[in-house]
Amino acid sequence: MKHIDLYKEKNVLVLGLAKSGTATANLLHTLGANVIVNDRTPIEGNEQAMALQAKGMEVICGGHPLSIFDQEIDMVFKNPGIPYTNPMVELAIQKGIPVLTEVELAYQISEADFIGITGSNGKTTTTTLIDEILEAGGKSPLIAGNIGQVSVEVAQKATSSNIMVTELSSFQLMGIESFRPKISVLLNIFEAHLDYHGTLAGYAKAKAAIMKNQTNEDFAVVNADDAVIMDMVQLSSATIIPFSVTKKVDGAYLQDDAIYFKEEKVMEVKDIVLPGKHNLENILAAVAAVKLVGTTNEAIHQVLTSFTGVKHRLQYVDTIENRRFYNDSKATNILATQKAISAFEEKVILLAGGLDRGNEFDDLLPYLNNVKALITFGETAEKLMKTAKEAGIKEIKRVDNVEKAVPVAYEMSHVGDIILLSPACASWDQYKTFEQRGDIFIEAVHKLK
């Protein structure tokens, strides 16, 4: 870890705890900052806040009083989930105080180079692939960010022989100043988190921040098939490395049913076990990133012939009586479900539904041709049933929850069918997280045996 004096004797407000806020507060304290912690959860029962207070940090809990800014505050590190419309954040910006996220601090102290991965879909799969391929190739990666440990914890352990492989959200990228990955990876951009960003342009700008400090000595691995991304890279100073599933590019691409990187054949597509065209995009992005740091084709082949997916991301669960079950609970939007359905040529029984954000599901219609039955649940059940009827799906059933959907799906299925949980909705109407929803699906599948 680099020992820096940037925060020594500075008054730093850490806004919001959870894992990232707690880790950030502890590190800033170690670096000599005067840390003020503010969390909306009352101090009673707030173990994280009490532990920080015991170390001598000023802790203010139970709300977000603007009076905190009556004292001099040099900078704010906020939890990425706190929106910029929060009065505390708005006041900080109004006063000209930098508002940062923990990935900025992680970069400042890290001795290792960063590979930063962002996009609307596929971040976790691509991040995991890069990590596993680098590991197989002896490159000593450390995985961090939205996946696994928070970046500031991992960065403290990193040495110059490591590579930080970091999944980054738009929320995190809005709070960077100097963060500069050696390799940035931009997978795709589509309408998401508009309740946070306001517009697609605002969302795209947040994603593009991953490239803003890169120079021509750095690389930006970008999806050449995504028009929004290709517009974004016009402003980048990085060396652009494209990937494409539709055409030959000066990067990673498909040709003659094989994966190539810059004219070099890497491996046959038929040997890859991870299903779906969208996963080919993720795989090409990962191949480009790992080849840029000198990873062998053997290491790539070793991982791609055994990697079956990340949990809750089109994850193969089991086969029962020649029916295959897949858990895609991470599909919290329509695009993710479109891609999941498109991954299969077999007949699909789709389990979908969840939080109603006010949208309709008409964009699913062109993708429902191989969906033979829909089982729906949650707040969006009626809307999804309406869409299924428009698509001409004959078998449509509404159930109370995911657990009840699984045996119903099995009863409706025939040999060779795919039973796919891909909700197209967030989970919060019935479940705390998409992970909890997926775990309940997995458990229900195992109960069928």
What's the mean pLDDT in 223-243? Answer: 95
How far, in Å, CA of 258 to CA of 237, rounded? 31
Could you tell me if 219 and 256 are in contact, meaning their C-beta atoms sit under 8 angstroms apart? no
**Residue 57: strand, helix, or coil:** coil
- Flag whether pLDDT at 196 surpasses 80: no
Give the pLDDT score at 327: 96
Positive or negative CA dihedral for 177, 332, 128, 296? Answer: negative
Could you give the angle at which helices 434-448 and 402-412 cross, rounded to 10 degrees? 40
Sorted by where each starts, the structural domains of the chain and their CATH numbers stand as 11-100 (3.40.50.720), 103-304 (3.40.1190.10), 315-448 (3.90.190.20)
What pLDDT, in 10s, does the model give residues 5-27?
999 999 999 999 988 999 999 99
pTM to 2 decimal places:
0.82
How far, in Å, CA of 22 to CA of 16, rounded? 8
What pLDDT, in 10s, does the model give residues 81-126?
888 889 999 999 999 999 999 999 999 999 999 999 999 888 989 9
How far, in Å, CA of 361 to CA of 334, rounded? 7
Closest CA to 332 of 236, 402, 192, 426: 426
What pLDDT, in 10s, does the model give residues 290-319?
999 999 999 999 999 999 888 898 888 999
- pLDDT averaged over every residue in the chain: 94
What's the mean pLDDT in 192-212? Answer: 74
Cα Rg of the chain (Å, integer)? 23
What pLDDT, in 10s, does the model give residues 260-276?
999 999 999 999 988 88
What pLDDT, in 10s, does the model give residues 173-195?
989 999 999 999 999 987 554 55
What pLDDT, in 10s, does the model give residues 380-414?
999 999 999 999 999 999 999 999 999 999 999 99
